[in-house]
Amino acid sequence: MIIYGVALLSICTLAGLFIGDLLGVLLGVPSNVGGVGIAMILLIFGGGYLSKRGLLAGKTEQGIEFWSAIYIPIVVAMAAQQNVVGALGSGPVAILAGLAAVSLSFAMVPVLDRLGRPDVAAEKKPHEPGTAAQATASVQR
Amino acid sequence: MIIESLTKVLNGYGLISGFAVIGATMWLSYWLSAKFTKGRLHGSAIAILLGLVLSYVGGLYSGGQKGLVDIPLLSGIGILGGAMLRDFAIIATAFGVNPEELKRAGVSGVISLVFGIFVSFIAGAAVAFAFGYTDAVSLTTIGTGAVTYIVGPVTGAALGASSEVMALSIAAGLIKAMVVMVATPFVAPLIGLNNPRSAVIFGGLMGTSSGVAAGLAATDPKLVPYGCLTAAFYTALGCLLGPSLLYFMMRGLFG
């Protein structure tokens, strides 16, 4: 039954947000601490556990998959209610923040790729990451 | 008379109207994506950009702070994009992530996830600081926006950031997603992105699911599942770290 999946998702959501709220109280933060993330972890492991025991039939999964599939439209609806007029007044922060994050992350790919590889250490070093990092540095300035 | 009846229905069934309006926006976006960008610029990115543009127009029109939602006929979008359904849908995306498959993806995937969140966060927060934001809440929200456009608003909502900072945060994440989609096929040969292992690392570093899915599809469709596997954990980890560790870090640095 589809409602079982929706109910499982609901229980994980409520439990995660509840734990997040308790963490907030314990840590003295006036907010929910990672409730959404905790709920996701609950769903990953709870769903995995139930799936392994054959308790998640196709219909049950559909109850979760529907909401998973609808999240981009929901994010679009969320974007449509932000204070964009106010944000654009404060300059190119968003553009530069986005660009800086992508440039740095691109530059990190070959670094991490080499870091964890057991075999070849003597592979020739591509010079692009350096220029990417420099571009990022100038962007950040 | 016709207008009155229409208004009554649209207002009374706000959430349903929201589905219709957002559905039409999605259709238009995917059509624009296929027609004018040959799918390179993912439909979801165009839809979110359209959402922000509509919010801008709505803000100019109504003078309010909630974009399109301040227009009475479109207030149902506020329910659809509100905190409850937003969190519910985001949590649902975690379903289907198999911990066994992540184990197979190896330690490098986990390392890249942690690195990816910190690298993007630091880049975003540094830019925000350079532009004069000095309070921990705004710096964390903009920094986490550079993580993904979901982690940013989730963190901002948890910390009580202002709507302007939330919009900046979403915009930063959106720009990140769009740059990843467009730039990945061009940068891929330079960073050795041509095998499953580097795709796993790429997914963990970039994290933006739509960006990674579209960027890898434009590079080599075989790499998509490897990148998306780690990217699927990125937003969860970001949502966990954003309002907690990253915020505490910023609060320690900036009071």
The top-scoring range by mean pLDDT among A26-35, B67-76, B221-230 is: B67-76
Q: Quick one: A40 and A17 in the same domain?
A: yes
In chain A, what residues touch B149 (CB-CB under 8 Å)?
75, 79
Share of chain A above pLDDT 70, in %: 68
Record: contact A43-B242, CB cut-off 8 A:
no
Whether A40 is covered by a domain: the verdict is yes
Interface of B with A in 186-215 (CB under 8 A): 187, 190-193, 197-198, 201-202, 205-206, 210
Whether A88 is covered by a domain: the verdict is no
**Structural domain of residue B220, as residue ranges?**
99-254
**Structural domain of residue A102, as residue ranges?**
93-140
User: How far is B255 from B124, CA to CA, in rounded Å?
Assistant: 19
Q: Indicate if the pLDDT at residue A121 is higher than 70.
A: no
Record: contact B123-A112, CB cut-off 8 A:
no
Q: How many domains does chain A have?
A: 2
User: Cβ distance B119 to A104 under 8 Å?
Assistant: yes
Question: Quick one: pLDDT band at residue A140, thresholds 50, 70, 90?
Answer: very low
What pTM was estimated for this model as a whole?
0.65
Q: How many domains does chain B have?
A: 2
In chain A, what residues touch B106 (CB-CB under 8 Å)?
116
Average of per-residue pLDDT across B50-61: 83
User: Cβ distance B117 to B147 under 8 Å?
Assistant: yes
Q: What is the pLDDT of residue A32?
A: 64
Q: Quick one: A71 and A24 in the same domain?
A: yes
Whether B51 is covered by a domain: the verdict is yes
Whether A127 is covered by a domain: the verdict is yes
Distance to chain A for B183, nearest Cα, Å? 9
Whether A17 is covered by a domain: the verdict is yes
Contacts by residues B20-29 (CB-CB < 8 Å, ≥ 24 positions apart)? B21/B74, B21/B76, B21/B77, B22/A73, B22/A76, B22/A77, B22/A80, B22/B77, B22/B80, B23/A73, B25/A76, B25/A80, B25/B50, B25/B51, B25/B54, B26/A72, B26/A73, B26/A76
Q: Quick one: A60 and A7 in the same domain?
A: yes
Q: Quick one: B136 and B223 in the same domain?
A: yes
Whether A87 is covered by a domain: the verdict is no
B46 vs B144: which has the higher pLDDT: B144
Whether B169 is covered by a domain: the verdict is yes
